[in-house]
Structure 1
Amino acid sequence: MTEVEAVQPAEAPSQAGSRRAWLGLAVLVLPVLLVSMDISVLFLAMPTLTLDLDPSATQQLWILDIYGFLIAGFLITMGNLGDRIGRRNILLVGAAVFGVASIIAAFAPSAGVLIAARALMGVGGATLLPSSLALISSLFPNVRERAAAIGVWTAFFAGGSAVGPILGGLLLHHFWWGSVFLINIPVLLILLAFGPFVLPEHRSSVLGPLDIPSVVLSIGGILPLVYAVKHLAAEGFDVEALVIGAVGVALLTIFVRRQRQLAEPLLDLRLFRRVQFSVAIGSSLTGMMSLAAMSYLTSVYLQSVTGRDPLAAAMFGIPMAVAVFVFSMGGARVARRFGVRSSFVFALLASAVGNLLLLGVGVDGGLAWYLVGSTIAGIGYGLAFTMVSEVAVSSVPPERAGSAVGISETSFELGNALGLALLGSVAALVFRSGGDYSETLGETIQRSGGNTALIDSARESFVSGMHVATSVGAVVLVVMAAVAYFAPRQSH
């Protein structure tokens, strides 16, 4: 049995719900907000960033994707590492890494440097999420107060991705694109200044060695597989896509087999035998896939199709951001009143309906459809995301709760990255099939030489791609809702 050592600072919170505990929570939600916000903050910045750095279509996707994929790949690893060296320690180290990477990203002279900086931000971000959620258990021993604190944590996590484009729009209205990264610095300085005094330390004194091969296999399997999907969408089926995709599948297969053999696996696959746990993870994965694609594509639409500047485009995202945040805060109460199963089904279907309403959006109008659709989708996303962590943890024995939390967070980040890679690639494929265009709508407009017919045709093609991608996302959500509804109530 694992021994746990809890190391308290001199004036650490000693009573559940004390003022210092809630102050500690306020400090903990800061990095959570930053990590989730930095997933989407670049959506509105991509057009202006493209003008300065001139990234290729593939580089544009990697600028958006590499951050989420490295977070997803390192979350469970960093959670395990935090158990060994101390959760507060790794939180503060991760904050420092995240800050340095943010500065590099802000002043990146080329697309390659920006991709590398985003990758480093992903590694730093992977230390912040599991350690911050795990420390809530130390701050709030009382079950009810802990549930309330986790609800606040989830609301900031879910709301951050919706707030990102809005904050990005405000910054881009006054500053250059690098400002969306520099905004991280003052927030991280607050965490580094107050964290050592208001957060308790917590570490395990007896644990087996960290399984490095599992870490390598997980990262080495995910990245080639997603690259193959992107390549298929951009270039069509060829030997390169087949070989790289096969390498990814092979490495992930070896990873799964290794986890089944280890006494202390990096990823406890036995958790997926529990139906409620699997439903929660599937809901977070599909929800974030559709949300990421919807947010990115509509950000491009509002700027490159309707011609709005970043600030005006950001204002249209406010209703959705408010819906996500508010319903994240109230999701637990909804689940208690109507039941977890019914709440999940409703949340997923509401998200699907919101995505389908975007079919009413066109080149020359339909913004009311966007506002209504994104708000309804925000209600569904907010409800679903706030239930995921609670259901994932409550559906497993207490001794596996830490592993369950790591998996649920990984599903959020992986879903975001897959949404941009898969659904984003679908939209790009439909766009390019509509005519002799450049790789992206922005490049097509930039290189059109004022050819109005070409620009109008390209915008129509982009809207068609957005319709197809968001419809596919809606279908995935409906399928997940059906799985949640028909899943057996108990798993043995």
Structure 2
Amino acid sequence: MTSHSPGSPGLRAWLGLLVILCPVLLVSMDGSILFLAMPRISGALSPTADQALWILDVYGFAVGSLLIAFGNIGDRYGRLRLLMIGAALFGAGSAGAAYAPNAELLIAFRALMGVAGATLLPSALAVLSELFPDPRRRARAIGIFAAAFAAGFAIGPIVGGVLLERFWWGSVFLVNLPVISVFLLFAPVLLREARVTRPGRVDVPSVLSSAGGLLLAGYGIKHAAAEGLSAVPVAAVVAGVGLLAWFARRQRVLEHPLIDFSLFRDRVFTLAIVTGVLPLAAWSAAAYLSGVYLQSVLDVPVLGAAFLAIPGAAVLTTMCVVTPAVIDRIGKRTALALCHLFITTGLVLLLMTGVSGGIGWYVASTVIAGVGYGISFSVVADTAVGAVPVEQAGAASAIAETGNELGNALGIALLGSLAALVFRLQGPDLAPTLDETRRIAELAPEALADAKAAFVTGLHAAAAVAAVLHAALGVLVLRLLPRPLSRPRPRPRPRPSGPDGGSPRAGRRHAKVER
């Protein structure tokens, strides 16, 4: 039998890490796998403009709004147990989505996948921490975890494109089932249960108001962009904003809030969280709109569009790995500023694309912006945690993770809705989306050209707005962050605290481990 030094992980721990990466890759990959699949889905199910946006981002809304709540639930009732339940639900949602006969059911199954995904992320990281008791090896394992999560976002469109070249659109969901099966088979053997004793209960009104507020506000914005202003979308936005405001007020009076808003008094923490939200919003919107642009404007085959996404995905994943070493040399303040500079430059290059060509500009955009996205994915959580006292590190980590998921959804909801609004105002007024316009029988060439030009204008509008926001945020980073902001010194692992929101990174040493 092979012997190991105390605290040294054996083969079982590393095999357990591989098993944990299965649901991690699926959760992140399913946040982006539909970006190239939407033209096929639109052709098969004929969703309206706002339904198409919901198909894309209801998943991210569900994950982001429930992430902290399920972290609390896992702490109380068992992380591995919740991980197994979530994986089974994720598989069921994937199977249902693959065979959904209409857009409404596809949205419902995507929402179920999002709920399941919210159970997987915090539980996976918590169980992983139990496999590696040594702090240095645990840090290495968590680094692999983070790189896999970022890589899933990057390779999602590529995997979707490869599948769609050979199979029907439902294959982008069915690919989840073998991975889930492997996880459910080996997880009980290789992983251990973990619980953390935490005071208080999950505040159900907070969970419902945050999720309901996000969904209502998102529905109103997308419906108004696609169909125009009317009483229904305006009422939805007002109700959604009201629920979110009530949620924020409630957190201030709860003894154990889901989100500790007092953390946002620290400007370093606030800028770090915004840096987590905005890049993912820009990336998700640009990836979705570019996928439609390549296939429906330039008529690039889906497999060709997938190959064109590889350079940007490779740069993004590489930056996730090398960024910690870069930060050791230049510091976090400079890294955060460079993050926004590269993303701004990449988004500006998207403005060079046109109806008759622009593939080279698209690839250059993804490569240059990929540097910034990779920096963002790597540095945000560490910066946020380093900006707060040790006892609040769990809460800071939970907010950072939630911000990432919401950024992915908000990019489609806001920037995607802006592009839809521009198309509705400047298009030939034959259908609310480019793909629906292309399906009109005996469509005049002039009308198709007008529709393509309107879509490209919408793409440019979304890219321009995102570029301006990133440029402004980069300036704020340089003006507001202190110069010595650099890689933080080693910090002791925090004890479980009330307002940490069930963060997967808080208080692992105090977990009760059950064989």
Q: Which bin holds the TM-score, normalised by the shorter protein?
A: over 0.9
Contact 2:298 2:355 in 1 (8 A): yes
Q: Deviations over 1:46-97 (max 9, x none)?
A: 1111122121112111111111101111001001111101111111111111
- CA positional deviation for 1:288: 0.5
Moved over 4 A (4+): none
Further displaced range: 446-455 or 417-426: 446-455
Match of 1:4 in 2: none
- 2:433 is matched with 440
Contact 1:448 1:454 in 2 (8 A): no
Do the aligned partners of 2:35 and 2:287 also contact (CA within 8 Å) in 1? yes
CA contact (8 A) 2:46 2:436 kept: no
Query: Structure 2 CA distance, aligned partners of 1:275 and 1:461?
Result: 40
Task: Name the SS of the counterpart of 1:208 in structure 2.
Answer: coil
Q: Which residue is 2:454 aligned to?
A: 461
Q: Tell me the percent identity.
A: 47
Deviation at 1:232, TM superposition (A): 2.5
Task: Give how far 1:250 is off.
Answer: 1.3
The residue aligned with 2:493 is none
Unaligned runs of at least 5 residues, structure 1: 1-11
Q: Report if aligned partners of 2:75, 2:198 keep a CA contact under 8 Å in 1.
A: no
Out of 136, 144, 150, the residue aligned to residue 152 of structure 1 is 144
**Distance in 2 between residues matched to 1:36 and 1:358, nearest whole Å:** 24
Aligned amino acid, residue 94 of structure 1: G
**In the alignment, structure 1 residue 110 sits paired with structure 2 residue 102:** yes
Are 1:246 and 2:234 counterparts? no
Confirm or deny that 1:177 pairs with 2:163. Answer: no
Give the Cα–Cα distance (whole angstroms) in 2 for the partners of residues 88 and 272 of structure 1. 32
Task: Tell me the amino acid that sits aligned with residue 225 of structure 2.
Answer: A
Partner of 2:50: 58
2: CA distance between counterparts of 1:399 and 1:88? 25
Native 8 Å contact 1:427 1:466 kept in 2: yes
Q: Report the TM-score when normalising by structure 2.
A: 0.90
Q: Report the CA distance between 1:303 and its aligned residue.
A: 0.4
2:72 paired residue number: 80
Residue of structure 1 equivalent to 2:132: 140
In the superposition, relative to structure 1, how do residues 450 and 36 fare at CA in structure 2: closer, same or farther (>3 Å)?
same
What is the CA distance between 1:26 and its match in structure 2? 1.9
Residue segments in structure 2 that go unaligned for 5+ positions in a row: 486-515
The aligned runs of 1:290-305 (5 Å cut-off) are 290-305=282-297
Matched residue type, 1:452? P
Distance 1:283 1:235 in 2: 32
1:84–1:207 contact (8 Å) kept in structure 2: no
Secondary structure at the counterpart of residue 388 of structure 2: coil
Q: Does the 8 Å CA contact 2:343/2:372 hold for their aligned counterparts? A: yes
- Residues 32-431 of structure 1 mapped to structure 2, 5 A cutoff: 32-431=24-423
Equivalent pair of 2:158/2:306 in contact (CA under 8 Å) = yes
Which secondary structure state, in structure 2, belongs to the residue aligned with residue 475 of structure 1?
helix
Q: Structure 1 residues 293, 18: closer, same or farther in 2, change over 3 A?
A: same
Instruction: Using the TM superposition, give the Cα deviation of residue 448 of structure 1 relative to its aligned residue in structure 2, in angstroms.
Output: 5.0
Q: CA deviation at 1:13?
A: 12
The question of whether the paired residues in 2 share the 8 Å contact of 1:13 and 1:20 is answered with no
Tell me the amino acid that sits aligned with residue 49 of structure 1: I
Work out the CA distance in 1 between the residues paired with 2:179 and 2:120.
13
> Distance in 2 between the 1:349 and 1:18 partners?
43
In structure 1, the partner of 2:477 is 484
* CA deviations over 1:21-58 (Å, ceiling 9, x no partner): 33222222221111111111111111111122121112
TM-align CA RMSD: 2.0
Secondary structure of the residue aligned to 1:39 is coil
Q: Deviations over 1:415-459 (max 9, x none)?
A: 111100110111111122223231110111110514211111211
Amino acid in structure 1 at the alignment position of 2:211: I
Structure 1 residues 13 and 31, CA, compared in 2 at 3 Å: closer, same or farther? farther
SS at match of 1:339: helix
Instruction: Give how far 1:150 is off.
Output: 2.4
Shift of 1:200: 2.8
The answer to whether the 8 Å contact 2:49/2:420 transfers is no
Contact 1:76 1:403 in 2 (8 A): no
**What displacement does 1:156 show?**
1.6
> In structure 1, what residue type is equivalent to 2:302?
P
2: CA distance, partners of 1:199 / 1:358: 45
Farther off after superposition, 285-294 or 430-439: 430-439
Corresponding letter in the other structure for 2:135? V
CA distance in 1 between counterparts of 2:146 and 2:454 reads: 37
Deviations 1:304-339 (A, max 9, x none): 011122111111000011011111111211112110
SS at match of 1:264: coil
Counterpart of 1:478, as a letter, is A
Greater alpha carbon shift after TM alignment, 73-82 vs 184-193: 184-193
Q: Do 2:79 and 2:193's aligned partners in 1 also have CA atoms closer than 8 Å?
A: yes
Between stretches 467-476 and 294-303, larger displacement belongs to: 467-476
Shift of the 456–401 alpha-carbon distance from structure 1 to 2, 3 Å rule, reads: same
Contact 1:13 1:198 (C-alpha < 8 Å) held by counterparts: no
Residue pair 1:289, 1:416 contacting (<8 A) in 2 also:
yes
Q: Which TM-score applies when normalising by structure 1? A: 0.94
Contact map agreement 2:7 2:134 (CA 8 A) in 1: no
Q: Which moved more, 1:237-246 or 1:44-53?
A: 237-246
Q: Does 2:464 align with 1:471?
A: yes
CA shift for structure 1 position 16: 4.1
Letter in 2 for 1:29: L
Amino acid at match of 1:455: L
